[in-house]
A and B are shown apart, each in its own frame.
Chain A
Amino acid sequence: MKLNQLSLYNYRGYNKQDIAFGKGVNLFIGDNGSGKTNLLEAIYFLSLAKSYKTEDSNLIKFNQDFSRILTTVDLIDKSYDIKIILSKNKKKIILDGREIQKLSDYIGQVNVVSFLPEDMNLIKGPPKNRRYFIDSIIGQMDRNYLIELSNYKSFLKQRNDLIKKLSEDKNPDMTLLDIYTEQLAKAGEKIISYRNNFINKINLELKSIYPYLANNPYLFEFKYLPSIDSSLEGTLKENYRKDLFVRTTTSGPHRDDYGFLMDDIDAKDIASQGEQRIMILSSLLAVTEIIFHYKKQRPILLLDDVFSELDTTRQNKLIHFLNKSHLQTIITTTTTTNINQEILDDAKIFNVKNHFIRGNKHE
Chain B
Amino acid sequence: MNFPKSIEDLIVQFMKYPGVGRKTAERFVFHTINKMDKESVKELSETLTQLKERINYCKVCNNLTDKEVCHICSNEKRDQSIILIVESPKDVFSIEDTSQYKGLYHVLNGVLSPADGIGPEELNLKTLWDRVAEKKVKEIIIATSSTQEGETTALYIKRVLQDTDLTVSRIGYGVPVGLNLEYADQLTLSKAIENRKKF
The stretch of B2-10, B127-135, B152-160, B167-175 in contact with A is: B152-160
Q: Which residues of A contact B114 (CB under 8 A)?
A: 158-159, 161-162, 165, 176
- Partner among B113, B115, B119, B156 whose Cβ is within 8 Å of the Cβ of A179: B156
Q: Which residue of B lies closest to A154 (CB)?
A: B148
**By the criterion CB–CB under 8 Å, are A165 and B148 in contact?**
no
Interface string of A177-208 (1 = CB under 8 A from B): 01110010000000000000000000000000
Q: List 28 A-B contacts (CB under 8 A).
A: A151-B148, A154-B115, A154-B148, A155-B148, A157-B115, A158-B113, A158-B114, A158-B115, A158-B152, A159-B114, A161-B114, A161-B115, A162-B119, A165-B114, A173-B120, A175-B159, A176-B112, A176-B114, A176-B119, A176-B120, A176-B152, A176-B156, A178-B159, A179-B152, A179-B155, A179-B159, A180-B152, A183-B152
* Nearest-neighbor residue (CB-CB) of A177 within chain B: B114
Distance of A117 from chain B, by nearest CB (Å) = 37
Interface pair B148/A175, CB less than 8 Å apart: no
List the interface of chain A (C-beta within 8 A of B). 151, 154-155, 157-159, 161-162, 165, 173, 175-176, 178-180, 183
The distance in angstroms between the C-alpha atoms of A175 and B156, with both chains bound, is 7
Inter-chain CA distance A176–B123, complex, in Å, is 13
**CA of A165 to CA of B114 in the docked complex: distance in angstroms?**
8
Residue of B nearest to A156 (CB): B115
Give the chain B neighbours of A179 by CB distance below 8 A.
152, 155-156, 159
Which residues in A have their C-beta under 8 angstroms from that of B112?
176
Main secondary structure of the interface of A (DSSP, over half): helix
Q: For the A-B complex with A173-B120, A179-B152 known, give 5 more contacts whose Cβ atoms are closer than 8 Å.
A: A155-B148, A162-B114, A175-B156, A176-B112, A179-B155
CB distance from B103 to the nearest CB of A (A): 25
A-B contact count (CB 8 A): 35
Top-10 shortest CB links A-B: A162-B114, A161-B114, A161-B115, A179-B155, A157-B115, A158-B115, A158-B114, A175-B159, A179-B156, A176-B156
Q: How far is the CA of A13 from the CA of B11 in the complex (A)?
A: 48
CB-defined contacts of B115 to chain A, threshold 8 Å: 154, 157-158, 161
Residue of B nearest to A187 (CB): B148
A312 to B160: give the CA distance in the assembly, Å.
Answer: 69
- Least CB separation from A173: chain B residue: B120
Tell me how far the C-beta of A144 lies from the nearest C-beta in chain B, rounded to whole angstroms: 14
Known A-B contacts A155-B148, A175-B156, A179-B152; the reply to A165 vs B113 at CB < 8 A is no
For residue A62, give the distance in angstroms from its CB to the closest CB of chain B.
36
Q: Which residues of A contact B148 (CB under 8 A)?
A: 151, 154-155
Q: Which residues of A contact B160 (CB under 8 A)?
A: 175
Bound CA span A162–B119, Å: 8
Q: How far is the CA of A179 from the CA of B155 in the complex (A)?
A: 7
Residue of A nearest to B119 (CB): A165
Query: Chain B residue with minimal CB distance to A163?
Result: B114
User: What B residues does A175 contact at CB under 8 A?
Assistant: 120, 156, 159-160
In the assembled complex, the Cα of A151 lies from the Cα of B115 at a distance in Å of: 14
Which residues of B are found within 8 Å of A180, using beta-carbon distances?
A: 152
**In whole angstroms, what is the CA distance A173 to B120 when docked?**
9
Closest residue of chain A to B160, judged by CB?
A: A175
Cα–Cα distance between A175 and B129 once the two chains are bound (Å): 15
Complexed CA–CA distance, A158 and B152 (Å): 10
